[in-house]
Amino acid sequence: MLQVTLIGFGAIGRSLLERTRGHAGLRITHVVVPHAHVAQAQQAAGSDVLVTDAVPAEARLVLECAGHGALTEHVLPALARGVECAVVSVGALSEPGLVEQLDDAARRGGTRLHLLSGAIGGVDAIAAARLAGLDDVTYTGRKPPQGWRGTPAEQQVDLDTLTEPTVILQATAREAARLYPKNANVAATIALAGLGLDATTVRLIADPGVSENVHEVSVRGAFGAMDLTMRGKPLPDNPKTSALTVLSALRFLHNQVGPTTI
């Protein structure tokens, strides 16, 4: 039986807990949340899960789905003491030096860090193609104009009057993650799989012609070319979270205990 410690108990964490209950090969035994939220999360999680404010000493596999701050607070020290970790909040790795810190901690601990694909597909193909050499990787994120409320886009364009697709940012993946952190996970995942955060181009578009979030990936290299478009559906109880993000984490857990992985 694979015992899993979950960091975070928002929409992703709650969905993972429910989807793994009754699984013959794995069980979420601990959930880590901020101290102030322990009692509330314990009530929601049920008596078969222990909610705490720190990764337990006996943890063997940690799955992070709490947000960027959890990587430095919980994942780094867990890796350093030899605990295998998987990360959903890949966008946090756009912070200068954090990739190297995590890699060093995993090496010192003699363990591994898994970066999950989350809301985007094609990551395996990009990572494989990188081995032969990549020439260009571009990620384009499209949202309806109102989807850019509360971002720097409001200072660039009038979101209420747009009548055609408008580019609100074209920059490196690192700069895009800094300015638009809510879009950071997909862009950073594509970048880390391919050319890196400083050589991957990100275009963010406010498009009145779409009603959902659209991800487009274009890759060129020695392998050939790949163009991918995804229109993901959100979690029913949290429209800001992609349902595929949960399924990506669930696939990772299933692959840890299944006789065959893909």
| H or E element in which residue 214 lies | strand 214-221
59 token code pair:
């943890």
Contacts of 221 (CB under 8 A, 6+ apart): 129, 130, 132, 133, 134, 135, 136
According to DSSP, the β-strands at 2-7 and 201-206 are: unpaired
Find the distance separating the first CA and the last CA of the chain, reported in whole Å.
20
Examine the residue annotation and report whether 215 is marked as an active-site residue of this protein: yes
Starting at the edge strand found earlier in the chain, the sheet holding 26-32 runs: 50-52, 26-32, 2-7, 61-64, 84-87, 113-115
Which is catalytic among the residues 30, 68, 74, 215? 215
Contact assessment for residue 18 and residue 28, using Cβ atoms and an 8 Å cutoff: no
User: Which residues belong to the active site?
Assistant: 215
